[in-house]
Amino acid sequence: MNASIPLAAWLESGAQGRSIGRVSLVGAGPGDPDLLTVKALRRLQQADVVVYDNLVGDGILDLIPPHVERIYVGKEASNHSVPQDEISLLVIAKAQAGLQVVRLKGGDPFVFGRGGEELSTITAAGVPVEVVPGITAALGACAQTGIPLTHRDHSQSAIFVTGHRKDGSYALDWPMLARPFQTVVIYMGVGALAGIVEQLVAHGLVPSTPVALVRNATRSDQQTVVGTLETIADVAARNRVQAPALIIVGDVVSLYDEHQAECLRKVAAS
Ligand SMILES: C[S@@+](CC[C@H](N)C(=O)[O-])C[C@H]1O[C@@H](n2cnc3c(N)ncnc32)[C@H](O)[C@@H]1O
């Protein structure tokens, strides 16, 4: 692949006549290898090459057979180590060379994972592609902390939002997010935590609304801290909570119990 050729031209010049492989956009889940789906594991075992991101845990990479080529294309917030176009070109090139390609992403490919963009590009190139869903971070974090996303006494709906936009800007529908009796899970928002809690209070949530931060959910180094809209920025600073973490806002967080969460973690790890 020549990364200097524009995407459309490169796709047009595509590898006609060669037997074509397949791309599987696979969700790796939040980190615990036991949370991979059976289909995801099967695809890893069948792969010729695995192209993976930084949120894919070591335990999952250990499940890739040793002969399989691994290519790291990880990105961190505002540090895109491999541009999106180049990642798509890479997986298309590998599939056009006849290989079974697994594009492995943290969580679920279609939840803040750019899976939609990659799917469009791969489809446009005429390469067979499938999507294998994964457990998104919010589900992993809630399962391991004992915080239910919905609960008949506390929350009627759950909303997943991202603190980051494609252009790097930060704008959310605050009146919608600040409604009571719902759970809001914010991905990629920890760096903007102070601004987020300020906006939620300014738009009507009471300052005593419970908030949890869960970092590295389902991994051995999972970190959970809880507070309220009023206190959580200080709690986060004191405990040095950093990405990758989720912000969970809503009355369901009042159900968090440290002892119960520890029991959940121990059983899940056994
Ligand atoms: C680019 S998004 C990818 C989300 C992913 N596709 C998913 O479905 O979970 C990255 C953000 O997801 C969240 N995240 C991913 N894995 C996480 C984990 N194990 N624990 C807590 N947050 C996580 C963090 O907010 C992180 O900044």
Here the CATH number for the domain that contains residue 48 is 3.40.1010.10
The yes-or-no verdict on residue 1 having pLDDT over 50 is: no
pTM listed for this prediction: 0.90
Is the CB–ligand 1 distance for residue 217 below 6 Å? yes
Each residue of 69-89: pLDDT tens digit? Answer: 999 998 654 566 688 889 999
Structure confidence at residue 234 (pLDDT): 97
The two beta strands, 245-249 and 183-187, are: antiparallel
The tokens 């159900």 sit on which residue? 255
CB 212 within 8 A of CB 151: no
For the chain, where are the alpha helices, taking DSSP H only? 7-12, 38-46, 58-61, 84-96, 115-124, 137-145, 174-177, 193-202, 232-238, 258-269
Which is nearest to 45 in space by CA: 67, 76, 25? 67
Structure confidence at residue 24 (pLDDT): 98
* One domain, residues 147 and 256: yes
Here the CATH number for the domain that contains residue 265 is 3.30.950.10
* One domain, residues 163 and 257: yes
State the distance from the centre of ligand 1 to the C-alpha of 43, rounded, in angstroms.
Answer: 22
Is the CB–ligand 1 distance for residue 137 below 6 Å? yes
State the distance from the centre of ligand 1 to the C-alpha of 91, rounded, in angstroms.
Answer: 22
Each residue of 205-262: pLDDT tens digit? Answer: 999 999 999 999 999 999 999 999 999 999 999 999 999 999 999 999 999 998 898 8
Task: Find the domain containing 104 and state its range.
Answer: 7-132
Structure confidence at residue 171 (pLDDT): 79
Q: Measured between alpha carbons, how far is residue 257 from residues 231, 254, 262, 264 in Å?
A: 18, 8, 9, 11
Each residue of 51-64: pLDDT tens digit? Answer: 999 889 889 999 99
Is the CB–ligand 1 distance for residue 32 below 6 Å? no
- What are the residue numbers of the active site? 53, 75
For range 2-6, the mean pLDDT: 45
Neighbours of 113 (CB within 10 A): 22
